[in-house]
Amino acid sequence: MIVFPAIDLVAGRVVRLERGDRARMKVYAEDPVAVAEEFRARGAGWVHVVDLSATLEEDAAARQANAEAIAAICALEDIQADVGGGVRSMAAFERLLELGAARVAVGTALVRDPALAAQIARDYARCAVADVAARDGQVRVNGWREGEALSADELVARLADLGFRHLVYTDVARDGMQTGVDTAAYEHIARVAGFPVIASGGVASAADIAAIAALGSQVIEGVICGRAIFEGSLAVEDALAAARKERTCSPNAS
């Protein structure tokens, strides 16, 4: 199971939002590259980077600062970046690839521009990631600021047909709250998708990582952890150790 320590960016700074609320933002670091280097030093092979300034349509200076940070993170050796935020055109998707992203996440376009999402999945199947966020089972888009008359199940069920093979599923109510994880929800979403998911939202400890890993590789591809690391309740090394305990086989049938 892949552990993705999270680096959320606003105007070039590393931040975390509570439940995606820009008004409830905490700044953790001024140097995102140093943060990525620290994650790498502790054994991480991936980071999950979100350009919140692009997502929230902030000014050009903020977005440029994030672009420079993303390029510098992606240039680091021995660590790969899964990057998303504000990808609502093919140009935006390809721009992140040009900056060096190994994977690029598509969120709002899954709902608002399914033709674009399908084209991205078709042309870039290896590195395209569907980014689905939901609260109370209903899809949230546009930086989680807007709801859709669409259930998470309905959207996730479409992804394989669109061509996606990677999926980040975020439980918005738990994101940035360190309230623990809902393993049943991830197991359900993987069943609906037909392929493993990357779990996001609520991780508070190594026990949460272990609980997710125990679902097995047919259900879980990876887990994103952010605030727990920055707040000190989860060490990257402990997260990686817990992830290695994923279930490798099913119990014998009785």
Task: State pLDDT tens for residues 204-227.
Answer: 999 999 999 999 999 999 999 998
| Predicted confidence (pLDDT) per residue in 59-76, tens digit | 999 999 999 999 999 999
Counting Cα atoms < 13 Å in the Cβ hemisphere of 195 gives 15
According to DSSP, residue 62 is labeled: H
**Residue 250's pLDDT band (boundaries 50, 70, 90)?**
very low
User: Is 207 in a helix, a strand, or coil?
Assistant: helix
* Residue 17, beta-bridge partner list: 25
Which pLDDT belongs to residue 171? 82
Contact 80, 129 (CB under 8 A): no
Which pLDDT belongs to residue 180? 77
Q: How far is CA 1 from CA 5, 50, 81, 100, 221, in A?
A: 13, 20, 16, 23, 5
Contact 18, 177 (CB under 8 A): yes
Which pLDDT belongs to residue 230? 94
Q: How far is CA 195 from CA 13, 95, 157, 220, in A?
A: 34, 27, 10, 8
pLDDT exceeds cutoff 60 at 253 = no
What is the average per-residue pLDDT within 191-199? 96
Q: Which two tokens stand for residue 231?
A: 């707040």
Residues 6+ apart with CB under 8 A from 167: 129, 130, 131, 132, 156, 159, 189, 193, 195, 196, 197, 198, 221
Among 127, 238, 216, smallest CA distance to 199 is for 216
Which pLDDT belongs to residue 46? 98
- Look at 149 and 164; give whichever has higher pLDDT: 164
According to DSSP, residue 8 is labeled: E
Q: Which two tokens stand for residue 190?
A: 């993987």
Averaged pLDDT of the chain: 91
pLDDT exceeds cutoff 70 at 146 = no
Residues 128, 167: Cα–Cα separation, whole Å: 9
pLDDT exceeds cutoff 80 at 35 = yes
Contact 46, 4 (CB under 8 A): yes
What is the average per-residue pLDDT within 19-46? 92
What's the whole-model pTM score? 0.90
For the four alpha carbons of 26, 222, 3 and 185, in that order, the dihedral sign comes to: positive
Which pLDDT belongs to residue 176? 55
pLDDT exceeds cutoff 50 at 251 = no
For the four alpha carbons of 117, 118, 122 and 123, in that order, the dihedral sign comes to: negative
Class of domain 2-243: alpha beta
Residues 6+ apart with CB under 8 A from 153: 137, 189, 192
Which pLDDT belongs to residue 149? 73
Residues 157, 169: Cα–Cα separation, whole Å: 13
